[in-house]
Structure 1
Amino acid sequence: MEVSRDWLDVATLKEATGVQRLIAGRVEVLDRLGPINRIAGADVSMKWRDSYGPVHAAIAPLDGQAATATAIPPFPYVPGYLGFREVPVLRLAWERLTVKPDLLIVDGLGQAHPRRAGIASHFGVAVDVPTIGCAKSLLCGEVAGEVGPYPGDRAPIVHKGEVVGIALRMRARAAPIYITIGHRISLASAVDWVLRLSDGRRLPPPIRLAHDAANAARRAFDARS
């Protein structure tokens, strides 16, 4: 599928808001999954509080070498609009993968977003790949009830009366993580896949691999600068 330039390059917040609403309308919340033979994580790294500097993106398969990319993003850091800053660089990394993953776990939110278009949804729609949002904090909504103390315990995330994700305990005594639909997957399946991938730590392996690869790309860039 051809990626619309408008999904990656906007000039104003008003334009970005309109594009997010368009993306939200294209998010598929039911399973449209083929055979899942390759799973990867996606994450970005940047200097703390640097709103205009380079973004270092990584897509890290569980069974292969990570692809990375570094670029000056076309959009500054604005809460709620991270997709326009991070998705263009993630797409560069995506294009460098010889074999594309069948399922992507994105460090960030999907539908748990004021306009239902967090980075996991933004990227999933842009490249038409099944994506799951896996985040360490919430941008909007509240956890309805208590998350039990044991791995696998969960509670819904509700925003404006709508369930937009699941707060999921991955490890006893660790804070929950927040699982959301990105694109082409149901919430139940998203939670199931994250639990299947669990190795007893708070974050699933695809996220940790992508995090390490993105940080390595940033350090390598800094060493050359």
Structure 2
Amino acid sequence: MAAALVTQDRLRPLVDLVGPGPTAPARVAGLDVAYDEGGDRLAAAVTVLDAATLTVVDRAVSVGRPAFPYVPGLFAFRELPALLDALHRLRTVPDLLVCDGHGLAHPRRFGLACHLGVVTGLPAVGVGKTPLVGRWDPPSGERGAWTPLVDGDEVVGAVLRTRDGVKPVFVSVGHRMSLTNAVDQVLAVTPRFRLPETTRTADRLCRDTLAATHPAATVSRS
């Protein structure tokens, strides 16, 4: 665990929080990981969507075992090797990574989206279903409304309403993006449901792959 903390400390200063990042990406990738019920096998999936149509134009999966034990604040180390392997299997290079997880909105300001962005050099954002840190005021009820996610005296993300009247998601910068652009890009790939199409397609792919390769296992979400 000490080595992982040292790695986070070494890589954290490399995160580009200025951005502004791509405002009209052509290809947007979703990344997600599914585990079997015991948590000792995983499938990491990457789906690349055409940003204009939100159709999947490329996909890749890596199946294996977690690379690191479950430790709060160091969750990225469990999933990063498999996700990088899946990214390397793609035929196309995405313009933006949308991670099922957090970036700056992390206790050590270096969540999965930051780690992936720094290692790959690609713009990245995190979209979490629940928060890891921070306090916020609820955004108003309409789609597109958001309020700052604040930890201490620092804005670490946005609490974003992606559908009218539906509970928000938690958006944070990973790498080479501004927060306002991250919000815009997440809304662009979330036209109908609470979660982005990037996350939905990657979730479906990793779950289906794990179920197919280990049919007796119960699949759980990361």
TM over 0.5: yes
Mapped partners of 1:86, 1:111: distance in 2:
17
Q: Which residue of 2 aligns with 1:39?
A: 28
Q: Which residue of 2 aligns with 1:27?
A: 15
Q: Which residue of 2 aligns with 1:91?
A: 84
- Per-residue deviation, 1:73: 2.2
Contact 2:103 2:174 in 1 (8 A): yes
Mapped partners of 1:79, 1:190: distance in 2:
25
Contact 1:106 1:207 in 2 (8 A): yes
- Mapping for residues 52-201 of structure 1, pairs under 5 Å: 53-62=40-49, 63-143=56-136, 145-201=137-193
Question: Could you list the per-position Cα deviations for residues 109-161 of structure 1 after superposition, in whole angstroms to 9, with x for gaps in the alignment?
Answer: 00001111101111111111111101101111111x22111111111111121
* Identity %, equivalent residues: 36
Query: How many pairs does the alignment contain?
Result: 210
Question: Could you list the per-position Cα deviations for residues 137-192 of structure 1 after superposition, in whole angstroms to 9, with x for gaps in the alignment?
Answer: 1111111x221111111111111210000000011221100000011111111001
- Per-residue deviation, 1:32: 5.8
- Per-residue deviation, 1:102: 0.8
1:57 counterpart SS class: strand
Mapped partners of 1:90, 1:193: distance in 2:
21
Aligned letter for 1:180? S
- Per-residue deviation, 1:21: 1.9
Structure with the bigger percentage of strand: 2
Mapped partners of 1:56, 1:178: distance in 2:
24
Aligned letter for 2:179? L
- Per-residue deviation, 1:99: 0.8
Mapped partners of 2:130, 2:26: distance in 1:
29
Aligned letter for 1:22? R
Contact 1:169 1:177 in 2 (8 A): yes
Contact 1:171 1:200 in 2 (8 A): yes
Q: Give the TM-score normalised by structure 1.
A: 0.88
CA RMSD of aligned residues (A): 1.6
Q: Which residue of 1 aligns with 2:220?
A: none
Mapped partners of 1:48, 1:123: distance in 2:
25
Contact 2:21 2:181 in 1 (8 A): no
Aligned letter for 1:54? R
- Per-residue deviation, 1:18: 1.7
2:58 counterpart SS class: coil
- Per-residue deviation, 1:197: 1.9
1:223 counterpart SS class: coil
Mapped partners of 1:58, 1:157: distance in 2:
28
Structure 2 unmatched ranges of 5 or more: 50-55, 218-222
Q: Which residue of 2 aligns with 1:212?
A: 204
> Bigger shift: 70-79 or 111-120?
70-79
Q: Give the TM-score normalised by structure 2.
A: 0.90
Contact 1:58 1:69 in 2 (8 A): yes
Mapped partners of 1:49, 1:161: distance in 2:
39
- Per-residue deviation, 1:33: 3.9
- Per-residue deviation, 1:64: 1.2
Question: Could you list the per-position Cα deviations for residues 2-54 of structure 1 after superposition, in whole angstroms to 9, with x for gaps in the alignment?
Answer: xxxxxxxxxxx22211211222211101226467221110000002452xx12
